[in-house]
Amino acid sequence: MTTNPAPARPLVDRFGRHISYLRISVTDRCDFRCVYCMAEDMQFLPKKEILSFAEIETIATAFVTRGVTRLRLTGGEPLVRRDIIELVRSLGRHIGHGLNELTMTTNGSQLAKHAEALVEAGMRRINVSLDTLDAERFRAITRRGRVEDVLGGIDAAQAAGLKIKINMVAMRGVNDDEIEPMMAWAHGRGMGLTLIEGMPLGEVGIDRVDSYLPLRELRDRLAKRYTLEKLDHRTGGPARYARVAETGGILGFITPMSHNFCESCNRVRLTATGQLFLCLGQEDQVSLRDALREGGAEALDAALDQAMLIKPKGHDFVIDRARPEPALGRHMSVTGG
């Protein structure tokens, strides 16, 4: 990993947390409608409100200058945005010049078409969201799409040299019976698997209370059959990792509900419209689009300072029958996964 000189003015919030990781949503659009993420009939943003690639590059450069070492492109589905490889190539020029890593989270549907170009543009690792290997169940969870397309995309990505981690949202009564087969499949192909608890964001097409599966419970279940060796391995995000001795693979747990990870939060999220959300589970935000368009680089830098002053200590998600409504009205696809 490249050792970067300390930035002159690092991004440090009022709780002393250094911000080193920026997630950039390049679009709120997606070719799936996953039941835990989006409504069946979504109202997408007008294209005129979306940041241009030049604006994204300017904002990303400002973050790298202030000490951000990891960028992740998200959506919606990032690969549905036209000419996305141009942005990847542009951001990839920062690798080795302040930026250690440029990654992406994708549903994999367009991956076969773009895998080689992503590698050529500087990407080395991606996350693929995949909640089931069963074709019929896949159609039910995504409300559209074909698992064959995603699996073909994974084949193409591995052939191109991309390292892949599978992200799986664990849902009781939906796919909890498939977690061990998914782990065996992923580890058998040299891919890590990270399990994610469902989060109460937006009105969606699933009963969150019935489907909520605490990962502590799931980890205890797995520990009865497998040897889970705790790892200090980190990838910049909130996951906690273990090595599964029987498979040799890595298993991650992201637990925003049962054990939040706010004390070590190093992340902020830029939406496709240029709103910087300081916490996935809170509404604190700063408009970097307005700052950039109205005041240029100086105003953008001042907006980053303001963001550090208002970043909250953490989120307070709850899922139970007493509070079945979502904690926030915005969908996950709006903020970026």
What are the binding residues?
A: 23, 30, 34, 36-37, 72, 76, 105, 129, 165, 199, 262, 265, 267-269, 279
Annotated binding site for GTP: 23, 72, 105, 165, 267-269
DSSP assignment of 25-63 equals E--S--S---TTT--SS--PPPGGGSPPHHHHHHHHHHH
User: How far is residue 326's CA from residue 321's CA, in Å, rounded to a whole number?
Assistant: 12
DSSP 274: S
Residue 20 · residue 69 · CB < 8 Å? yes
Q: Annotated binding residues for [4Fe-4S] cluster, as ranges?
A: 30, 34, 37, 262, 265, 279
Preceding omega of 337 cis (within 30 degrees of 0) = no
CB 101 within 8 Å of CB 68: no
Binding site per annotation, positions for S-adenosyl-L-methionine: 36, 76, 129, 199
Of 144, 141, 121, nearest to 131 by C-alpha is 141
Residue located via tokens 């699996």: 151
Alpha-carbon torsion 79, 82, 86, 91, what sign? negative
